[in-house]
Amino acid sequence: MSGPRSEGGIPHRRERLTGPSRDETWADANQAKNEKLQRHSLQRRARAQGLELRHSEYGYALLDLARNRVDDRNDLTLDEVESCLARG
């Protein structure tokens, strides 16, 4: 590997690209994709009911138009959000 070139212009590096790290697996990638798809679907369903789906470090929360939490919770899982929207 060589360092950055300084011949003027944009510096370039010549490094080999490595594959995924040993910690990453197809199962993890698939799980993350499924969670993302579920979250986007729930966001659309919440908007259709006049609610907003928000995420924090504690979990998910559904907010109404007045920005009040539905069921006064901000630690819902996606499955709990889905059940709240189903009974909505």
The pLDDT assigned to 34 comes to 95
* 16 falls within a domain: no
Give residue 13's pLDDT band: very low, low, confident or very high (50, 70, 90). confident
If one counts the domains in the chain, the total is: 1
Q: What is the pLDDT of residues 27-54, one digit of tens each?
A: 889 999 999 999 999 999 999 999 999 9
Question: What percent of the chain lies above the pLDDT cut of 70?
Answer: 84
Task: Compute how many other C-beta atoms are within 10 angstroms of the C-beta atom of residue 78.
Answer: 16
* 27 falls within a domain: no
Q: How many residues does the chain have?
A: 88
* 66 falls within a domain: yes
* 71 falls within a domain: yes
Enclosing domain of residue 55:
51-88
Work out the average pLDDT over 5-33.
76
Structure tokens at 34: 């499924």
* 40 falls within a domain: no
Q: CA 64 to CA 51: how far, in whole Å? A: 5
* 62 falls within a domain: yes
* 20 falls within a domain: no
